[in-house]
Copies of this chain bind each other. A is one copy, B any other.
Amino acid sequence: MNEPHGKNPETASGDAAPKAVVERLSLYLRELQKLNKDGADTTSSTQLGRLLGLSDAQVRKDLANFGQFGYPGIGYRCDELIPKIKDILGTNHRWNVALVGIGNLGRALLGYSGFENQGFKIVAAFDQDPSKVGQMIEEVEVRPIEQLEAEVQRLGIRMAIIAVPRTEAQAIADRLVAAGVVGILNFAPVRLSLPTDVRGAGVDLAIEMEQLAFAVVNRSGCQNRENA
């Protein structure tokens, strides 16, 4: 209440970080990983900003929210900053993930290498359909939905992906939560209702297309942000 206005260093990392900042953190991480792979030892706020279309000041400010990671006169050491950002995002340890619904989308997700690269490993897959049960897909065996609770608990799974039809999604979410899952990525076009201590994120592809349509219709040549 009577804090002047700035946030002091001590409370900084404890403060609720602005959502937009955390989103950019993911982008910084990707660029750093790319730079590191290409053999760069260090980078700078200017370089990161240029690569991502942001100002250097913003890059520094964003990172400063979480600590002091850079070296004046030198910049940021990729080797050091990458794990720091992973610490912040919570991806510095592997997350075991459950996938429910092995339709075309589920299969695609099982084969998606991007998850594993960033520390998410699908270790359990479930489907209702007996003809799918027992199949091995990308080294994961499809199990009957009845085993959901047992497997989630056995493997200590805390994050899950829902790729079932709309009508099943809420029921699956409830079961996952009851079994101990605290984060759900939902592809079904429904808004899940979840307990307040469980986090959910919905991927709505129709909305992505809609936003793209707007951008297409309103492109007056100028705002050339290439975010693809």
Asked if A227 CB lies within 8 Å of chain B CBs, one says: yes
Interface residues of A in 175-228 (CB under 8 A from B): 182-186, 189, 191-194, 196-197, 199-219, 221, 223-224, 226-228
Bin the interface of chain A by size: 35 or more
Is B206 in contact with A120, judged by CB distance below 8 angstroms? yes
Question: Which of A186, A197, A221 counts the most chain B CB atoms within 10 A?
Answer: A197
Say how many copies of this protein the assembly contains. 2
Asked if A89 CB lies within 8 Å of chain B CBs, one says: yes
- Given contact pairs A104-B105, A191-B226, A199 touches B219 in the complex (Cβ within 8 A): yes
* Shortest CB distance A17–B (Å): 7
Is B108 in contact with A213, judged by CB distance below 8 angstroms? no
Partner of A107, one of B23, B104, B158: B104
Residues of chain B within 8 A (CB-CB) of A55 are none
Is A210 in contact with B91, judged by CB distance below 8 angstroms? yes
Chain B residue at minimal CB-CB distance from A120? B209
C-alpha spacing A210/B89, complex, angstroms: 7
C-alpha spacing A201/B205, complex, angstroms: 11
Asked if A90 CB lies within 8 Å of chain B CBs, one says: yes
Is A115 in contact with B205, judged by CB distance below 8 angstroms? yes
- Given contact pairs A90-B217, A197-B219, A219-B182, A108 touches B104 in the complex (Cβ within 8 A): yes
The 3 closest A-B pairs by CB, nearest first: A200-B228, A90-B217, A196-B224
**A residues adjacent to B (C-beta < 8 A):** 16-17, 22-23, 25-27, 29-30, 88-91, 95, 97, 103-105, 107-109, 111-112, 114-115, 117-120, 158-159, 173, 182-186, 189, 191-194, 196-197, 199-219, 221, 223-224, 226-228
